[in-house]
Structure 1
Amino acid sequence: MNSYIVLLLAISTLLLLIFNIKNSRRFNLFDHWLHHQLVKRHDGYKWQVIAFINDPKLMVVWDVLLAGLLLNEGRELTAFWVLGTLAFADISGIILKRLIRRKRPIMHSNMETGYSFPSGHVLGATTMGLILLQLFAKTYGLVFVISIIALWVTVIISRLSLKAHYPSDIIGATSLAIACFSISQQLLFAF
């Protein structure tokens, strides 16, 4: 699919979610109901490890380690692109969280602080997943792709199971990550 179409779809989805979260009581009620249907009981402890490994702050550490490996291989431009892509996504996520100011679902884990939209964990996991797929999918093949997707789905399940986010927070984070990655990717290929 054309990268401009992907970017347009991601931005359109994100804007539609923001509009509905801010303006539609019906949308928010549906999102709350869907969240309740997806997560009937609180399975917090077994998902805390996944949440920890994919914590946005720790994701920066993984990103720096990847950039270091790339620098060691003499791939300076790619290393800076890796750092810039995650930074762009994280800064965009922080700005959106502060603009939207959406409260977390009722009964969320006490370990979860801050606003709900978009999910920082899913934003980081999606962005890093896209970076890893861009860099290594051709080299390591289908098993690698499936592994990255499985890890990403696990992060999504953990965020819902911990009652940290509504489904729209997950979709919003994924859309934002795709948009930031697409813009960053186009900048990389411009050089």
Structure 2
Amino acid sequence: MHTSHHDIAVAARNRVAFPLLVPFVLLASLVAVRWPPLHDLDESVSERMHGVALSHPGWVDALTWLTHILSPTGWRLAVLALVIWLFRRGARSVAIWAAVTMIAGGLLGAVLKLLFSRARPEFLEPVAKASGYSFPSGHALNAALGAAILLLVLTPMVRGHRLATVGLWTAALGLPLVTALTRVGLGVHWLSDVTAGLFLGAAIAVASAAIHSRRGVPEPVEG
């Protein structure tokens, strides 16, 4: 089994970076102008989720446990493990791509938080607290970013193995969505925060893969 500059851009070849970026740009624009319908939707979802949280302490415990496991640090450690694995197999260029993409995406998210300076949801009886600004969600962004990096690198290696491919795609799509759910369920993010974070994280990974795929000849990774 092998991966390569060509393989790592499987999604990039299909030109999905731009379609992934469009929803983020749209949401960012609506947040910037404080579009009332978006604000009303965010408030409605947050109030309903908060009501569920107050009525079900066990649900809050589960969300808290999941949000810690699926934190930005958790995703960075997962990508770090991938980077080490790639280096040990001689795929230095792909390893560097994965590391740089993860770091750059996280930094971009932090900068955007400062630019938008959006306040987090506030409740009289909060079930969780978080510091910093709200848009975009760092948890959602890093989850989508880390999952996309892992997916782009590992998909070529399981080609021809249907069960492994299905499992990989299910995890890459499902875990970021669960991450986003925990942030809204705990009342520390608006729905638009996590939605924007998911689209931006995936777009960064795919766009970065497209750039990386143009740099040189295939680089084998024995698996």
- In the superposition, the TM-score normalised over structure 1's length comes to 0.89
RMSD (CA atoms): 2.1
Q: Unpaired segments of 5 or more residues in structure 1? A: none
Aligned to 1:41: 52
User: Following TM superposition, by how much is the alpha carbon of 1:109 offset from its aligned partner in structure 2, in angstroms?
Assistant: 4.7
2:188 aligned partner: 164
Shift of 1:117: 0.8
Letter in 2 for 1:65: A
The structure with the largest alpha-carbon Rg is 2
Superposition map of 1:51-66 within 5 A:
51-66=67-82
Q: 1:82–1:131: 8 Å Cα contact kept in structure 2?
A: yes
Asked if 2 retains the 8 angstrom alpha-carbon contact of 1:127 and 1:178, the reply is yes
Q: 1:131 to 1:165 in 2, by over 3 A?
A: same
Q: Residue 102 of structure 1 contacts residue 116 of structure 1 at CA under 8 Å; is this kept in 2?
A: yes
- The 8 Å contact of residues 119 and 134 in structure 2, kept in 1 or not, is answered as yes
Q: Measure the CA separation in 2 of the matches of 1:91 and 1:167.
A: 22
Query: Would the alpha carbon gap of residues 77 and 2 (structure 1) be closer, same or farther in structure 2, given more than 3 Å must change?
Result: closer
Percent of pairs identical after alignment?
21
- TM-aligned CA deviation for residue 99 of structure 1: 0.4
Name which of structure 1's ranges 93-102 and 83-92 shifts more when overlaid on structure 2.
83-92
Greater RCO (CA < 8 Å, at least 6 residues apart) = 2
Once the two structures are superposed, the pairs formed by residues 24-173 of structure 1 within 5 Å of their partners are 24-42=35-53, 43-107=59-123, 108-138=126-156, 139=158, 140-173=164-197
Aligned equivalents of 2:12, 2:80: Cα separation in 1: 29
Report the Cα distance in structure 2 between the residues aligned to 1:45 and 1:2, rounded to whole angstroms. Answer: 38
Gap change, CA 1:101 and 1:3, over 3 Å in 2: farther
Task: For 2:204 and 2:91, locate their aligned partners in 1 and report how far apart those are by CA, in whole Å.
Answer: 21
| Cα offsets for 1:116-161 (capped at 9, x unmatched) | 1111111111111111111122413112222332322221221121
Q: Conserved in 2, the CA contact under 8 Å of 1:89 and 1:124?
A: yes
- Unaligned ranges ≥5, structure 2: 1-10, 54-58, 159-163, 216-223
Q: Which residue of 1 aligns with 2:8?
A: none
State the 1:190 CA deviation.
0.9
Structure 2: distance between partners of 1:61 and 1:126: 14
Contact 1:123 1:177 in 2 (8 A): yes
2:42 is equivalent to residue 22 of structure 1? no
Higher helix share: 1
Q: Which amino acid aligns with 1:124?
A: N
SS at match of 2:175: helix
In structure 2, the partner of 1:12 is 22
1:3 Cα deviation after fit: 5.2
